[in-house]
Amino acid sequence: MTATTRLAALGRAELTLLVRNRMALFTALLMPALMIGSIRAATDRVGLDGTGMNVAEAAVTGGVGMVLLLVVYLNLVSAYVGRREELVLKRLRTGEASDREILAGTALPATCLALVQCVLLVAAAVTLLGVRAPERPELLVGGLLAGIALCVGLAVVTSGATRTVESAQLTTMPLFLVSALGSGLFVPVEVFPETMASVCELLPLSGVMTLVRAGWLGGGDGGELLKAALTTLGWAAVSVLAARRWFRWEPRT
């Protein structure tokens, strides 16, 4: 059995479990759309002068970040914890699949779903809301893929500090709130005071959002994009190191 076959089998099994979990399915399918409405209401109350975007553009690009957080990060923390506590991860390690394949296979349905939702979001925004088409699609795709990889890594790390599936609602809340409020999801970082904006630009998802907005709406000079890419890569490296140190394959005692 090849690595691709093993990944596909793990992904199908995880997709079956996702479909059976109504709460996880609701979070993955409906919550992003509801949060985009909240983002639009928030940006409507904030002056966007000088940001280079209107309310609709700020809302839909922030919606990409919400898809990453809700569909990838939140869902995967619960998935990794649930499979660990049910001894699924422990049993899988006795088979042919490597550790990386097990983690990637578990993440496969959520990452594919996030990609599909982002494609639909872009299409709906352009055709129904009059938002301009992506000016640099390669940068948008690169930022999206980097964000997915980063959220998977952060989910692996967070699961190590989470005892039960129920407690995942608490352990995921800090990163969710910090990213939603400080990484430009609800309101662009450009509207913050300069000192606060400089700090917020160093948050885990801030670099991803900079790349996504520059890819979709244009703007952003080379130095700004390089800083965003390095910030994203730095957090990805930290998440990998932390995952190796703190991820648990067996139930917490």
Its pTM stands at 0.91
**Residue ranges per structural domain of the chain:** 3-246
Three-state DSSP at 197 gives helix
pLDDT in tens, 150-189: 999 999 999 999 999 999 989 999 999 999 889 888 777 8
Give the total residue count for the chain.
253
The answer to whether 10 and 101 are in contact (CB under 8 A) is yes
The answer to whether 69 and 205 are in contact (CB under 8 A) is yes
pLDDT in tens, 95-153: 888 899 999 999 999 999 999 999 988 988 888 888 889 999 999 999 999 999 999 99
| Res. 81 pLDDT band, cuts 50 70 90 | very high
Find where tokens 């809301």 sit. Answer: 129
User: Please, what is the angle between helix 137-160 and helix 206-217, to 10°?
Assistant: 160
* Helices and strands: H and E segment counts in the chain: 13, 0
Integer Cα distance of 113 and 24 in angstroms: 12
